[in-house]
Structure 1
Amino acid sequence: MNTRKTIALFAACAVLLPLSACDRKAEAPAASPAKPKVVLDHAALSQVEDPARVLAYYGAALAAHDWEAADAAWGSFPETSPGTLRAYFGKYPALSFHFDPSRIEGAAGSLIYIAPVVIRDGGRVVETGRIGLRRVNEVPGSTPEDRLWHVEMSDLKPAVGN
């Protein structure tokens, strides 16, 4: 190839190459990784054997920011609602819920389960305390709902340094 043809070819490429990109759609910025969809164990709320299962359900619902599902773990406790849970826990975008197993104790016609809990936001501990669950034994006058495990108390407090 002679020098004149080579220069002409390079000139043509210099003009056409930038134009070839005009037809391409702008690439979308890389999406941030989506938060995995949490599948909640709704059956935990209708069983009477394992309070830790209810507590795990509650923690998963909080982590998913599913305030209505988290509220369901409280049963008919009047002081709690999806709105109060959102107001309290919604400030933690990367909430995770950890609890240590506990034991079931009897108390005047009911059973109590109180477990130590740690709430993290990302890797940072933001709340610590205890959460208590309760269910009524099969005593006269108790309803099927009374006999289900439900969250009844929480004494979570901001972690030291928060």
Structure 2
Amino acid sequence: MDYEAMEKQIAQLEELVGVDEFSKTKPIPVEIEQITKKLRDDLNANILMSIPYQKLDNLHKLAAQSNQAAASISERIESINFSEQLILQRIELIKTFEECLQSALDTECFSKISDLLPLLDDEIRICEELYQKWKSECTEFENFRDEYALILKSITNRVFQLQAKIDGLVQKAEIKSKQENA
């Protein structure tokens, strides 16, 4: 394999992996300490600041590389090998996601929906009928309670009237018996 063919294959791999994107990024300013202080104090970005300084420095070095195309083949291969583990992790995550998605989108379950819709409609109708029956029973009970309260009130009033008449008759009888005794 000649040198140019190898370069093309590496370039294709870099493009697939996304390594060429690093050449388009702007380098991180050297004043990392000032930026971290501003982020921590002014912007309250403590979570971001929990990233170790060494990783930020490595990111700075990676972003500061002038041009990936000018890098040697060994550096490019090393970059691809470095990215391989990340790619494999992502492949595994995609497989896991696909398995979960397949069980969630099981066509057998979805095919049963059309068979179960009439049953669902029947249950909804039954629930609505029961709700209407409950409403009428509640209304009937409230009417009964109101009538019961009216009956109790009229009985109580009648008892008080009768008690007043009895008290009046008792007083008249006492007055009459006092007059007869005197």
TM-score, structure 2 as length reference: 0.23
Higher helix share: 2
Higher strand share: 1
TM-score, structure 1 as length reference: 0.25
**Rg larger in 1 or in 2?**
2
Higher relative contact order (CA 8 A, sep 6+): 2
